[in-house]
Amino acid sequence: MSLEQQADLDDVVFVEPKEEIRIFVSVPGRYSLADQRDARGERVEFACRAVYFSAHEIALAAPVNGKVGDRVIAHIDQFGKVEGPITRLITGGFMMSVAVSDGRRDELAAKIEWLESYKNHDTPNRRAHERATPENLCSKLIFADGRVENCRILNLSVAGAAIAAATAPEIGTVLNVGSVVGRVVHHFAGGFGVQFIER
């Protein structure tokens, strides 16, 4: 080995990569697919849940999938805006890569670490009825005319549920969420709320 080659080797620094924190969560949010737009040319937003999070990759439980390579713009509670391409389709959603600057990635990693440390701590719930995220997020909407549409349950209580689906029925629409009858009572970004007729 020449002295020049030895000098080149002396300049190489081997850094042991820090182990990345990955967490399984159920954090609500909303997303849009960059290429999917409505009749006015505006991006269509859907409600979703982040179910797996690292500073490099996120899994979203989502009502509408894109294709591998499609760019996703997501706004996740507690984490803010993240963008990146779909890397893999999964049952009921997709995995997306997180394309951010190093500074933003460090910020995400810090939030993930904080959430991992405190995710088992109880937080106050100010709702009249305690809400929970069901183990099985997938369900079906059954309309009065017999139409059936897949949906995702974002959260539910004995009195109602927050739903994400490809369409948002008009307020007042009576429908079944699975086997439970309810009425659409409000819309929110990417979804709608259903009040059950019987608890």
Domain boundaries, the chain: 23-118, 138-196
Compute the average pLDDT of residues 97-118: 79
Q: What is the CATH number of domain 23-118?
A: 2.40.10.220
Would you say 49 and 133 are in contact if contact means Cβ atoms under 8 Å apart? yes
Would you say 27 and 62 are in contact if contact means Cβ atoms under 8 Å apart? no
Q: Is the dihedral of CA 127, 129, 130, 136 positive or negative?
A: negative
Compute the average pLDDT of residues 75-91: 90
Query: Band of the pLDDT at 111, cuts 50, 70, 90?
Result: confident
Q: Considering only CA atoms, which of 123, 25, 135 is closest in space to residue 77?
A: 25
Quote the pTM value: 0.53
pLDDT for 71:
95
- With 80 as the cut, is the pLDDT of residue 120 above it? no
Would you say 45 and 75 are in contact if contact means Cβ atoms under 8 Å apart? no
pLDDT for 199:
62
Would you call 141 exposed, middle or buried from its count of C-beta atoms within 10 A (0-12, 13-18, 19+)? buried
Read off the DSSP letter of residue 129: S
Cβ partners under 8 Å of residue 43, min gap 6:
32, 33, 34, 36, 37, 73
Most confident residue range from 14-23, 38-47, 60-69, 153-162: 60-69
